[in-house]
Structure formats: structure tokens, C-alpha cells
Amino acid sequence: MLGEAVLKKLYFHKAGSALIVNAPEVYTTLIGDVAYDQRPAAQKKGAYEFVQVFATTQKELEQLVQATVGVGKPDCIYWACYPKGTGSIKSDIKRETVWVAFEKVGLEAVSSVSINDTWTALRARPAVR
């Protein structure tokens, strides 16, 4: 039940093809048996409707965002997930630093959701220029 609620908040139900990179075990257990790729599949480049990355350091976040920004459709649901400042995982990532990672690849932050007591997800879409 909790997993269904989280997936609904993330709009996972609207996606046909999904990519979830670097997900912690607690998250994969939470969401259960949903179908997704763990690495971008070459034949699906530009076709993912849902892209989600997990990082615990700013450097890792920037690398994952850079590596996955082109794998989704232009209107894909794109989430960058990072540890909450109050959680048990120590991290140098803050909401503002996720914005910076997004801006470097032409994305802008549009919304934020809490996944659980440890993880926050920040959604992005292509920046309008």
C-alpha cells in the first residue's frame, strides 16, 4: 500500500517505460514488483517516459543527471532523489544544489515530493528558454 502511494505521487502510473538508476534497496522493496530498467537501454534512448535517479553526493547526482538527461522523451517524468537533511544518510546535496545540477543540463525544477523519512524527490522538465 505504501509503495502504491509513493508511485502515485511520482506519477509512475502514467509511464509505459521506466528507468530507475541507483535505487537503494529500501526503495526497491517499497515499490515492489514494478517493471523498470536499472540502466539505460540503447534501444530505448529517448523513449523512457519515467526517469528516476538516486544519489548521495552532489558529484554523483551531477554525473547521473548528465548521463540520463537524454534517455527520456522530452516530456518524460524526471526525478532526482537525494537524502533529506534530517535523515540518516549524510549528504552534501540540498534542494538548491539539485537545481544547479538540473540547470547545467537545461532542466528546471518543478515540484518536490517526500518518498519516505530518508529520501526526497525533485522533479524536473526541460527549461523554457
The tens digit of pLDDT for each residue in 17-59 reads 999 999 999 999 999 999 999 999 888 888 999 999 999 999 9
> CATH number for the domain including 60?
3.40.50.150
Q: Render the chain in DSSP notation, one character per residue.
A: -HHHHHHHHTTGGG-SSEEEES--HHHHHHH-S---BSS--GGGTTTEEEEEEE-SSHHHHHHHHHHHTTTEEEEEEEEEEEE-TTSSS--S--HHHHHHHHHHTTEEEEEEEE-SSSEEEEEEEEPP-
| pLDDT the model gives residue 129 | 53
Q: Model confidence at 71, in pLDDT bands (50, 70, 90)? A: very high
Domain enclosing residue 79, as ranges: 2-126
| pLDDT the model gives residue 15 | 81
Q: In the predicted model, is pLDDT for residue 128 greater than 90?
A: no
d(CA 125, CA 129): 12
What is the number of domains present in the chain? 1
Q: Model confidence at 100, in pLDDT bands (50, 70, 90)? A: very high
